Amino acid sequence: MHEWESQEKILSALELQDVEHFMEYKEFQYLRHEWDNIPIIVPRFIIYLSKYVKGISGYCKHLDSLETTTSLREDLDAKYAVRKLC
């Protein structure tokens, strides 16, 4: 039980949550007391994964900003030009 709600109700609500934009990392908000009665390895691992995903998200966002239609067209033209020479 968690804050007077059934586990089934809480899990159902959590499963319905969506990530607004997967390329924008948004800090997960929580209350400190929500970690009560959980072995320390669980929050430690979740916080580690959160920081890891934040880094991956930032890198993906950077790559996404580099790949414009123009840059993709230029890359394709360059590859086509090299192939023509062969």
Indicate the SS3 state at residue 28.
coil
The predicted-structure confidence for 23-52, as pLDDT tens digits, reads as follows 778 787 888 888 788 888 788 888 888 888
The residue to which tokens 């319905």 are assigned: 16
Q: Which of 1-5, 6-10, 60-64 has the highest mean pLDDT?
A: 60-64
For residue 8, what are its two tokens?
């089934």
Question: 1 - beta bridge partners?
Answer: none
CA distance 73 to 79: 10
As a whole number of angstroms, the distance between CA 20 and CA 49 comes to 19
pLDDT at 86 (0 to 100): 64
Q: What are the pLDDT digits (tens) for 41-86?
A: 788 888 888 888 988 988 888 888 887 888 878 888 888 887 776 6
pTM: 0.48
Predicted local confidence at residue 1, as pLDDT: 46
Q: What is the pLDDT of residue 5?
A: 63
20, pLDDT greater than 80: no
Burial of residue 46 (CB within 10 Å: 0-12, 13-18, 19+) is middle
